[in-house]
């Protein structure tokens, strides 16, 4: 065997060069930070619109919805004449008015229909005006959300996109989707990620009751008597606020030397 074959071959390391695992760690941390930042922006956006969150896919567009026009908190508003206009801009934190709330109904694989508060479906008339006068869903009452580059437009049955005319009437007259045709659909339905986590039965009630419930659950009951820590409950309140209630309860039970999980 030659001397060259005994030499271990590896990556050439230069002076001052950092190891790769540190780079991976840095990338991972950056990914986590970016994810948190995105989540915070999403929560802020929802709060700014009174709890109405932004729909980003067709399957999310069900139930009560509102159509936001552009980036301002301004929504499509139904009139008792069956026409639609742009509602007045809302203050930050305010949601849409009742006249600006619609109901979405699936109308095919990639289309849906909207019903106004007057119980009429939104369609397009011969002049390209958006009107709500139909009692049932027909071809003119079908709308197709079109997504591109994180933005969305609504395509009507006349192959034109929803927008506003010079008098702020809601129309569908443009065959192309420019900045004036960009809309957002928002929902106030409770998402799975927003549902409150179910509180275990043992943790319902006041803190003294919570502690008693856990003592009953884990105590060995050698003498059939409950052994509860008599020290103040202030530490439990602090622990609950910090998310470590179970650890604090276990520590308190361990001091009583009566818990089958404490030595």
Q: How far is CA 168 from CA 102, 140, 231, 256, in A?
A: 19, 22, 67, 72
Q: Which of 1-15, 33-47, 124-138, 235-249 has the lowest mean pLDDT?
A: 1-15
CATH class for the region spanning 53-193: mainly beta
Predicted pLDDT at 248: 76
Q: Locate all alpha helices (DSSP H) within the chain, ordered by sequence.
A: 20-48, 207-218, 234-242, 245-256
Higher pLDDT, 77 or 252: 77
Share of the chain above pLDDT 90, in %: 51
Burial of 254 (0-12, 13-18, 19+ CB in 10 A): middle
Mean pLDDT for the stretch of residues 13-29: 53
Cα–Cα distance measured from residue 85 to residue 167, given in angstroms and rounded to the nearest whole number: 9
Predicted confidence (pLDDT) per residue in 156-211, tens digit? 999 999 999 999 999 999 999 999 999 999 999 886 655 555 656 666 667 777 77
Predicted pLDDT at 207: 72
For the sheet containing 121-124, what is the strand order?
53-54, 183-187, 63-69, 102-106, 112-115, 121-124, 130-134
242: helix, coil or strand?
helix
Predicted pLDDT at 247: 79
Chain-centroid distance of CA 210 in Å reads 32
Predicted pLDDT at 181: 96
Domain boundaries, the chain: 53-193, 201-256
Higher pLDDT, 47 or 18: 47
Which of 144, 97, 137 lies closest to 121, judged by CA? 137
């Amino acid at each position: 065997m030659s001397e060259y074959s005994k030499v271990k071959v590896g990556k050439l390391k230069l002076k001052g060069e950092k190891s790769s695992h540190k780079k991976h760690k840095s990338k991972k941390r950056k990914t986590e930070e970016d994810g948190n930042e995105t989540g915070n922006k999403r929560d802020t956006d929802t709060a700014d619109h009174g709890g109405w969150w932004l729909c980003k896919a067709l399957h999310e567009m069900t139930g009560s919805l509102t159509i936001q026009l552009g980036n301002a908190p301004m929504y499509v508003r139904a009139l008792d004449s069956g026409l639609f206009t742009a509602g007045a801009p809302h203050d930050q934190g305010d949601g849409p008015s009742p006249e600006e709330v619609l109901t979405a109904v699936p109308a095919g694989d990639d289309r849906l229909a909207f019903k106004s508060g007057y119980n009429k479906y939104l369609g397009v008339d011969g002049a390209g005006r958006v009107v709500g006068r139909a009692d049932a869903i027909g071809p003119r009452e079908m709308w197709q959300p079109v997504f591109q580059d994180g933005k969305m437009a609504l395509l009507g049955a006349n192959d034109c996109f929803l927008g506003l005319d010079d008098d702020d009437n809601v129309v569908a007259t443009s065959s192309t989707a420019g900045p004036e045709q960009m809309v957002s659909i928002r929902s106030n339905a409770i998402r799975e990620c927003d549902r409150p986590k179910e509180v275990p039965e043992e943790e319902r009630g006041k803190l003294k009751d919570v502690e008693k419930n856990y003592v009953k659950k884990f105590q060995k009951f050698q003498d059939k008597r409950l052994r509860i820590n008599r020290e103040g409950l202030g530490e439990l309140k602090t622990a609950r606020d910090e998310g470590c209630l179970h650890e604090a309860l276990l520590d308190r039970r361990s001091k009583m030397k009566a818990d089958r999980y404490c030595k």
